[in-house]
Amino acid sequence: MEKSTIDWIAYILVVIGALNWGLVGLFELDLVASIFGSISWLATIVYVLVALSGLWVLFKMFK
């Protein structure tokens, strides 16, 4: 089955989220918050996009 552009974006965001959580767990370093710093609304958007991507990938797994 061919992967669409939205599938690839979702996969990339899920990997970014997984790596970020790994850094939080291992080193107490939230890379997303570190990158966006004082722009907390932008970090929130990234977190929401990662969460939606996780739901998309989960949906695609069982489709």
d(CA 33, CA 44): 9
- Lookup: tokens for 1: 């089955």
Q: How many structural domains is the chain composed of? A: 1
Quickly state the pLDDT bin for 10 (edges 50, 70, 90).
very high
Find the domain containing 24 and state its range: 3-60
Whole-number average pLDDT of the chain: 95
Per-residue pLDDT tens over the stretch 42-61: 999 999 999 999 999 999 99
DSSP state of 37: T
Rounded to two decimals, the pTM is 0.89
